[in-house]
Amino acid sequence: MGTMTYKGYAARIEYSDEDECFVGHIAGIRDVVGFHGDSVAALKAAFEEAVDDYLDTCAKLDKEPQRPYSGKFMLRVSPEIHAHAATMAEARGLSLNAWAAEALSHYR
C-alpha cells in the first residue's frame, strides 16, 4: 500500500461508497484535518491544500503545528528479546537505540 506524503505529513485514505469519493485525513496528529477528492489527482491536490491550510492556520494562530512523529517511541518486548537485541548491539559496537533504529530502517 502506498502512502501519500507532503511536507512531512502522511495521509490516511478511505473510499466512501456513500459519497462516491476518496476521503482522507492527515495521519499521526491529534488535530483533525480532512480532505476529499473524486480522483487520485483531485485527492492529491486536496491533501496538499489541506496541509498548506493547516500550516497557515497554525501560523496565524501563533500555534506550533503538530508533527506526525517525534522520533521517540517505547517498545515492550520479552526479556529474552531485549537481552538478544542488547547483545547484538554490543557485538556491533552500537547502542541498543542505534542498533534498533538500524534494524527498523530495513523495513521502510
Q: Write the secondary structure of the chain as one string of H (helix), E (strand) and C (coil).
A: CCCCEECCEEEEEEEECCCCEEEEEEECCCCCCEEEECCHHHHHHHHHHHHHHHHHHHHHCCCCCCCCCCCCCCCCCCHHHHHHHHHHHHHCCCCHHHHHHHHHHCCC
* pTM of structure: 0.68
Question: 3-class SS at 50?
Answer: helix
The mean pLDDT value of the chain amounts to: 91
pLDDT of 18 over the 80 cut: yes
> What pLDDT sits at residue 74?
86
75 versus 49: which is more confidently predicted?
A: 49
2 pLDDT band, cuts 50/70/90, is low
Contact 24, 47 (CB under 8 A): yes
Q: Which span out of 16-20, 49-53, 63-67, 91-95 was modeled with the highest average pLDDT?
A: 49-53
